[in-house]
Every structure is written in structure tokens, then in C-alpha cells.
Amino acid sequence: MNRSRPVTVPEFVARKGADPLVVVTAADFTMARLMDGTGAVDALLVGDSLGTVVQGRSTTLAVTLDQMIYHTEMVVRATQKALVIADLPFGSYQESTEQAVRSAARILKETGCAAVKLEGGHHFAKTIAALVNCGIPVMGHVGLMPQSVHALGGYKVQRDEHRVLEDAQAVADAGAFSVVIECLPVELGRKVTEKVKVPTIGIGAGPHCDGQVLVGHDLLGLYDGHRPKFVRVYDDLKEHVRDAVRRYSADVRSRDFPSAEESFH
């Protein structure tokens, strides 16, 4: 779907129950420009998943607010069509609503993105409401919450139906314009989508969500680490990269590169 202007938050919300929303993560200028240039992506999420796929860490917990601002600003400069959303990283909003407002305001002011995303259910409803009251659009995130990996005992499917439904409803009632639901059984993903009035964006939550999100490095086959069950790899770009570097190396060693055409005379 080609567009001549960026997707807005109200347009994103209006897609509830319509054609599924397409969301993908990006963390740098080049990747964002390639993805946005397809015209097929509704939103680019600058996720704190960059802590694992870009920084090489085992969790997302070490990602800082300054790092999120750094990466989001690059993505915004590359993007003309998609809605750009930035994660609030661990430790940047949990302390108080005042801290959350300061952190989210910094992200919007210093990057130009349109919205922020934060993890947490009913315990963070007041935080979401405070941000929304300040004019900051918020995407929620319930189910498996990677910033709570230690409290949850690892990256596991979340089967507590009562808790997940309560969290999703609280987030939506607080004013979130959308909610990511992660690692849920298919039927629970459907129930959440039917219960809340805002779009649900699934990641490992089945096909009944209003949209889907994948980490860009995962769907392109660029990440060499653990591949979650819910990831579909659409190309194995890491092998293309390795092959290109091997061929470049061979040409350098055989003095086939640079050729006369690639040299100045």
C-alpha cells in the first residue's frame, strides 16, 4: 500500500478490525529506509530488542534512554510513510509518572517520533493516562514483557488468562492507542483482541490480532542467536552477507579488486 504522507495515530487506531496492521522493528537509518521504502509497513517500532540484535546482550535490560533516542532519531530521519514508535527502556518510566513523562517527552522532542511504547499492565495504567494527558500517544505491551524476564522466570508463553485480559483492558482504558500482546496461546490472543477497543499487535499471539510485529533482524535472517517459535524467516540475509564478504576477500587476495575500471588514472 503506497502512501504520500505518514500514517497518523488516529489512522492506526481506525484500522481496528480492518486490514491487518504491519509493524516491524528497525534500529538504524539504512534498515528503516529500506523497510519504509516498500510502502508496505504501517509502523516502524524502535524496540529495545536492539539490546540483543544490535548490541549483542542477552536481555533488553541494559538499553538506556540515551541509546533509544540515538537509534530512534536515525529511524525517523529515514522514514517518510510509517508511524514511528519508540520503546521506553527499562528504568526510564517505572519510578514515577513524573519520570515517565520526562523520558517520553525527551524521546518525542529529540527524535521527532510520533509515539512511545511501554511494558506493563494494570500497575502502569496511571502512568499511561498521565502520558496521554500530556499529549503523548502510548502503545501498551502486555503478556510476555521482556523487561520483566527475571520476574517471569524466563521467556515463556503467558497462560494466565485473567491477568492478561485484566492488563490489556486496563492499558486500553488508560488511553493507549494500541497494545502489543506477546507470547500468548492463540485463543487468548483472540479473546484479548475481541475484548479491547484498540488494535492489538501480536508477536507470538496467533493470527486473530489486529496486526503483527516482528523484529526486523529476525524476519530477514540477520540474527544468529536463538530463534523464537513465532518467528518466520523470510530470507537468510546473513548468508548473503557472508558470501559477499568471502568473494570480496578472494578478489582482494587475487588482486582482481580493484580493477582498472575501479581505479583513478
What residues act catalytically?
182
Helices (H), the chain: 9-14, 29-37, 50-53, 65-78, 97-111, 125-133, 149-152, 161-173, 186-195, 216-219, 237-253
Contact predicate 168/138, CB 8 Å: no
**Cβ contacts of residue 145 below 8 Å, gap of 6+?**
119, 120, 152, 182
Query: Which residues share a beta bridge with 116?
Result: 86, 138
CA-to-CA dists, residue 41 to 6, 25, 177, angstroms: 11, 10, 18
Q: Measured between alpha carbons, how far apart are the two ends of the chain, in Å?
A: 47
Contact predicate 175/138, CB 8 Å: yes
CA dist., res. 196 & res. 90, Å (int): 26
C-alpha cell at 230: 513465532
